[in-house]
Structures are given as C-alpha cells and as structure tokens.
C-alpha cells in the first residue's frame, strides 16, 4: 500500500515538474518574440526617419529675414538736417532721450534671439510721432514686423509719459510762473497772462468699436486735444477731452469770457481804438498756441483707449527747447 502511494506521489511530482518546465519555456519564447518585435519596430522607425530626412525640405528660419539697411546704414549717414526732418530733433537730443529711457525700454537677451536695441526702439517711436506713418511703412523701414512696431510705439509713448513728461509738461509755479507772465508782457505786449489756451481736432482713423463717438460736426473722425502754451510755444498742459460739456467748449468758435479767461472783443465794425488794440495784442499772444498745428494728421492708433499717450508725446516732441 505504501509502495503504491509512493509511486503515485512520484508520478504527480514529475507531472508538476514537467508542467512548470513547459510554462517556463513558453514564457521564455514569449519574451524572445517581444524582443524581436521591438527590434523590428525600431528598424522600421529608423528606416522611415531616414526616408523622411532624405526627402524633406529644409525648414526656414523661424524669424523672417528683413532688410535693416535703412536704419543701420542710411540713418547713420544722415546729415543734421535730414535727421531733424525724419525724427523732429537733433541727433544729440535723440541720444539724450535714449539714455533717459534706457532702463524702461531695455529688454533681456534670451537664448532664442537678441532684443531690439533701445536706440532702434526710440527711433521707431519717434518716427511714428514725427511723421504719423502707418505701421506697415515703419516696419519696412526698420526691418521689423508690423505687430512689433505697434508694441514698440505703445511702450515708447508710455515710457515718455512716465519718465519725461512729468519733467517737461507741467503748469508753472513760483518763479517759473512769474517768468511766463513777464514773457507774455515783453514778447507779445499782453500783461498778466500765464498761458494761451486752445483746442484742436486731431484726425484719427475710425476705430472699429464706437466709431460714431469720434465723428465730429465737421464730418470726419477725430478727438479734441486742448492745451495751454506759454510765451515760448512750450506746452504746459495737454489733455485729450471726451466729456461732452468740455468738448462743446473746445468746439465753440470762441471761448466764453471768464474771470480767469480773457477773450477778444467781437468785431462788429463798431470797436473803439482801444478795443482794436486789445484784440491785436490778444491775437499775437494767442498765436503761441498754434504750435498744436504740427501735431495734426490722420493717425493710426491701436485702440482709442491708448490715444492720449501718443498725442501727449507729440505735444512734448513738437515743443521748442524740450528735452
């Protein structure tokens, strides 16, 4: 009996060992098949990559190549008169503006490409302020993208507004105020005057949104720029007006008489000699505010919410002895 049990146990053990051996062999075969499959996939992938590389067209540089000749070559060779004609300031003043705005306009250099130099950024901003040229024209001249011109113009105008404008466009006080009063008296024969005020419609390209709000009574789109100028044609205060009651004040043919605001006599043909002389002196003194005229011209503005920035800049750049 014991012998029979021993034989049965031995047979069962041999069967289990044989089954385990077969399972192990099957597993090893499966691993070999997987390795062969992966090898075939790698070979096919390499062959496909080689075929693609052999037949593909070389990709262009991700930054479009543009001509830099005008800025790099032509501008550097400008005479003083040519430089003033293009940028409305002398080269020495241009360098001064670059140094004052360097910290604000400088951009960090990355591993992808070099940033646009501060001098070029100032050149783009000044050229737009001076000429009012469209972004496409400026982009072609300076060898940059149109969208880059738009960004640089806004950044430049904001930098001038924050850095330079508080120093150069401000209402006079103390000794400066007395100097303005004496200047109007000596230069224009008009006493007790601290400034000449006037408004001017600045033509703009009609914005896509709310364009009807900028359509004036003369039949074109504009915003009203009102400023105060001293006896030397220098702007002391400039504001882009949008409130209706102030806007109507600026659109009137003449300002109303106030205790702080003098206007000329209405000439109906019956003025006395003293009144005519007053009007002559008043007209001469008021001519200083005509410095607004060079700022006029259709302007492309990237959203009218940004409009005050560029024309505040124009007021400063078009003012004699500024910066």
Is residue 60 a part of any domain in this protein?
no
Residue 4, in any domain of the structure: no
Sheet strands side by side (includes 235-241): 196-203, 222-229, 235-241
Indicate if 174 and 156 belong to the same structural domain: no
pLDDT computed for residue 26 by the predictor: 75
For residue 137, the model assigns a pLDDT of 92
Say which residue the tokens 């646009």 belong to: 116
The residue among 167, 194, 218 that closes a domain is 167
Q: Residue 303 region, left (φ>0) first, then alpha (ψ -120 to 50), else beta?
A: left
Q: 129 and 179 share a domain? A: no
pTM for the predicted model, two decimal places: 0.63
Mean predicted lDDT score pLDDT of the chain: 76
33 assigned to some structural domain? no
In a domain, 153, yes or no: yes
- Which of 152, 167, 182 terminates a domain? The answer is 167
Residue located via tokens 């008296």? 185
Q: What is the pLDDT of residue 166?
A: 83
CA distances from 263 to 190, 258, 279, 286 (A): 12, 9, 8, 10
* 211/197 same-domain check: yes
Query: How many CB atoms sit inside 10 A of residue 48's CB?
Result: 10
DSSP 76: G
Q: Residue 109: in which H helix or E strand, if any?
A: none
Least confident of 112-121, 173-182, 228-237, 299-308: 299-308
Residue at which a domain ends, from 167, 195, 226:
167
179 and 196 share one domain: yes
Residues 182 and 279 reside in one and the same domain: yes
DSSP code, position 60: P
Alpha-carbon distance 32 to 102, whole Å? Answer: 67
Whether residues 304 and 187 fall in one domain: yes
- Considering the domain architecture, whether residues 157 and 180 belong to the same structural domain is answered as no
Domains in the chain: how many in total? 2
pLDDT of residue 323: 44
Task: Tell me what pLDDT residue 179 has.
Answer: 87
Same domain assignment for residues 304 and 188: yes
Looking at residue 176, what DSSP letter applies? Answer: H
The torsion angles phi and psi of 185, rounded to 5 degrees, stand at -70, -45
Q: Model confidence at 316, in pLDDT bands (50, 70, 90)?
A: low
Q: Is the pLDDT of residue 248 over 50?
A: no
Rounded to whole angstroms, the Cα distance separating 214 from 204 reads 9
Contact 226, 241 (CB under 8 A): yes
More confident residue, 146 or 316: 146
The residues, any chain, with a CB within 8 Å of residue 22's CB and separated by 6 or more, are none
Q: Is residue 44 part of a domain?
A: no
> Do 143 and 159 belong to one domain?
yes
pLDDT of 243 strictly over 60: no
Query: Residue 5's CB: how many other CB atoms inside 10 A?
Result: 9
pLDDT at 139: 94
Question: Does 27 fall in a domain?
Answer: no
Beta-carbon contacts of 245 under 8 Å, excluding residues fewer than 6 positions away, are none
Q: How many helices (H) and strands (E) does the chain have?
A: 12, 3
What is the Cα Rg of the chain in Å? Answer: 38
Q: Are residues 125 and 140 in the same domain?
A: yes
Place of tokens 């303005």: 180
- Does one domain contain both 224 and 298? yes
- Per-residue confidence band for 83, with pLDDT thresholds at 50, 70 and 90: very high
Weakest mean pLDDT among 14-18, 55-59, 161-165: 55-59
The rounded percent of the chain whose pLDDT value lies above 70 is 72
Residue with tokens 């250099």: 109
Query: Is 9 within the bounds of a domain?
Result: no
Angle at 265 between CA 261 and CA 266, to 5 degrees: 120
Is there a contact between 216 and 201 (Cβ–Cβ < 8 Å)? yes
User: Which pLDDT tens digit goes with each residue over 92-105?
Assistant: 999 999 999 999 99
Check pLDDT > 90 for residue 266.
no
Structural domain for 260, as ranges = 170-317
Predicted confidence (pLDDT) per residue in 137-193, tens digit: 999 999 999 999 999 999 998 898 889 888 877 777 888 888 888 888 888 888 888
pLDDT of residue 245: 39
**Residue 249 within any structural domain of the chain:** yes
> Both 204 and 301 in a single domain?
yes
């Amino acid at each position: 009996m014991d012998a029979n049990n021993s034989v049965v146990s031995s047979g069962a053990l041999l069967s289990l060992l044989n089954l385990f051996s077969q399972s192990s062999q099957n597993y090893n075969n499966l691993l070999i098949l997987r390795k062969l499959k992966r090898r075939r996939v790698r070979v096919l992938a390499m062959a496909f990559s080689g075929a693609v590389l052999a037949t593909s067209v070389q990709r262009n540089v991700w930054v479009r190549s543009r001509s830099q000749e005008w800025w790099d070559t032509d501008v550097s060779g400008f005479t003083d008169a040519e430089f003033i004609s293009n940028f409305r300031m002398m080269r020495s003043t241009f360098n001064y503006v670059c140094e004052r705005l360097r910290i604000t306009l400088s951009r960090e250099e990355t591993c992808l490409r070099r940033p646009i130099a501060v001098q070029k950024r100032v050149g783009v901003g000044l050229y737009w302020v001076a000429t009012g040229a469209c972004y496409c024209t400026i982009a072609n001249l300076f060898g940059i993208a149109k969208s880059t011109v738009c960004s640089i113009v806004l950044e430049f105008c904001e930098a001038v507004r924050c850095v330079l404008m508080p120093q150069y466009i401000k209402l006079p006080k103390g000794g400066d105020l007395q100097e303005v009063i004496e200047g109007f008296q000596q230069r224009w024969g008009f006493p007790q005057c601290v400034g000449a005020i006037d408004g001017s419609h600045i033509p703009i390209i009609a914005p896509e949104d709310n364009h009807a709000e900028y359509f004036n009574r003369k039949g074109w789109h504009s915003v009203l720029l009102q400023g105060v100028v001293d006896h030397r044609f220098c702007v002391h205060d400039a504001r882009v007006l949008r409130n209706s009651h102030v806007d109507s004040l600026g659109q009137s043919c003449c300002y109303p008489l106030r205790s702080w605001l003098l206007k000329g006599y209405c000439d109906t043909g019956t003025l006395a000699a003293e009144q005519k002389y007053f009007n002559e002196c008043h007209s001469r003194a008021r001519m200083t505010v005509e410095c607004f005229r060079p700022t006029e011209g259709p302007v492309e503005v990237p959203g009218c919410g940004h409009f005050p920035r560029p024309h505040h800049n124009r007021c400063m750049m078009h003012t004699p002895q500024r910066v």
